[in-house]
Amino acid sequence: MIPAEDQPRPSHLDPHGAARMVDVGDKGATDRRAVAEGFVRINPQLAGAIARDALAKGNLLDVARLAGIQAAKRTSELIPLCHFLPLDHVDVDAELVDGGVRLTASARTQGRTGVEMEALTAVAVAALTVIDMGKSIDKQMVIETIRLLEKTGGRSGAVRLAASSPAPAAQPLSGVTAAVLTVSDRCFRGEREDASGPALCRFLGELGGAAIAAACVPDEAQRISQAILNWARSADARPDVILTTGGTGLSSRDITPEATAPLLDKQHPGLLELARRRLLPSTPRAYLSRGEAGAIGRTLVINLPGSPRGACEFLTAIADVLPHAVETLRQEPDRVDHGHADDHE
């Protein structure tokens, strides 16, 4: 056992054990740099809102970057025993990755003491900013990591303390194929541009999926049903998921759920109920959407709202559970006839 008097003592304690600021006056100024990293775990709904830049408070990633830079410059005011350092450079990056937001900060100065705390403070405040910006959508966010990755300068020179975490893309629907059906009289007649269908196709790509087919039909039950069945029974290009957008409201022409329900071999109301519950804190009107969900053979069919934002928000809210549903259906035996052909041909 090392005698107590020979054990290393924290530099911020004097010989009597009292806290103090370390005297660095006899040290030479060197080029010092530090890099830190943090991670905030968020739910898929918030991830989708960040990806679409749809938060009411503004662009979460940009605000987190600015907050981290500002915090680094004020570290000595926040951490009692830190020296004031004239920072030559601070850089903060906020990146949406699988499961959350990864934050990286680097700080550099010519000084007598290191800039580790400046980098760590930047990451910590950026992480808190993520929580502040996103708490209206995700009230269970967790700051999982704040750590120093590397430092250079001073007596110890360059030290690599940890490897940077990989940054996989936020793609919960990787490998999932989909067909997108826009249901709208006006879009079908060319009186209004279809915004929801293309928005869903783009967003599927951002989530890792692929839109392999898209179409637009009027608010007519037979046209809606036929389009869905044609995709579900396709021998060459059957999608894993068919997403409809539009016709889920309360007007007399909103009949997409009524056209969809008789086609389903197995209904799955829990999918859209999950979306509504997750969207409730930020979008109570999600409960006005009357969509249906279920399976036709090995294809999952989901009715989404008609607005681009509503359709993408609903998809985001269930994106984390869809891969398991798709995989389950893929293992089902294929059937040529789903029992609905005579009704719609």
Number of domains present in the structure of the chain: 2
Q: Are residues 155 and 278 in the same domain?
A: no
Q: Are residues 334 and 219 in the same domain?
A: yes
E strands, the chain, are 30-41, 89-97, 100-111, 142-152, 159-160, 177-183, 210-217, 241-245, 266-267, 293-296, 299-304
Residue 24 lies in a domain: no
Residue 95 lies in a domain: yes
| Residue 234 reports pLDDT greater than 60 | yes
Using DSSP, state whether 180 is helix, strand or coil: strand
Q: Are residues 134 and 239 in the same domain?
A: no
Distance CA 135, CA 320 (A): 19
For residues 281 and 316, which has the higher predicted lDDT (pLDDT)? 316
| Residue 247 reports pLDDT greater than 60 | yes
Q: Are residues 190 and 330 in the same domain?
A: yes
Q: Are residues 125 and 211 in the same domain?
A: no
Can you give the residue range of the structural domain that contains 212?
Answer: 177-344
Domain final residue, candidates 160, 191, 219: 160
Strands 89-97 and 100-111, how do they pair? antiparallel
Using DSSP, state whether 120 is helix, strand or coil: helix
Q: Are residues 190 and 325 in the same domain?
A: yes
Token pair of 180 as six digits: 């997108």
Q: Are residues 150 and 210 in the same domain?
A: no
Q: Are residues 264 and 202 in the same domain?
A: yes
Residue 223 lies in a domain: yes
Q: Are residues 245 and 119 in the same domain?
A: no
Q: Are residues 214 and 127 in the same domain?
A: no
Q: Are residues 91 and 221 in the same domain?
A: no
Residue 7 lies in a domain: no
> What is the CATH number for 325?
3.40.980.10
Q: Annotated catalytic, 194?
A: no
Phi, psi of 272 (to 5 degrees): -75, -25
Please give the full DSSP string across 211-252, using - where no structure is assigned. Answer: EEEEEEE-S-HHHHHHHHHHHHT-SSS--SEEEEES--SSST
Average pLDDT over every residue of 79-104:
86
Distance CA 49, CA 263 (A): 32
pLDDT digits (tens, 9 = 90+) for 236-246: 889 999 999 99
Token pair of 288 as six digits: 């006005």
For residues 147 and 2, which has the higher predicted lDDT (pLDDT)? 147
| Residue 212 reports pLDDT greater than 50 | yes
Residue 137 lies in a domain: yes
pLDDT digits (tens, 9 = 90+) for 108-142: 988 667 788 899 999 999 999 999 999 988 888 99
| Residue 345 reports pLDDT greater than 90 | no
Domain final residue, candidates 100, 134, 160: 160
pLDDT (0 to 100) of residue 8 = 52
Residue 165 lies in a domain: no
- With a CB cutoff of 8 Å and minimum separation 6, the contacts of 11 are 22
Please pick, among 93, 132, 254, 320, the residue that the annotation labels catalytic: 132
Using DSSP, state whether 101 is helix, strand or coil: strand
Token pair of 103 as six digits: 């934050």
> What is the CATH number for 49?
3.30.70.640
Token pair of 216 as six digits: 């637009």
Residue 47 lies in a domain: yes
DSSP 152: E
Residue 239 lies in a domain: yes
Domain final residue, candidates 128, 160, 192: 160
Q: Are residues 75 and 202 in the same domain?
A: no
For residues 68 and 163, which has the higher predicted lDDT (pLDDT)? 68
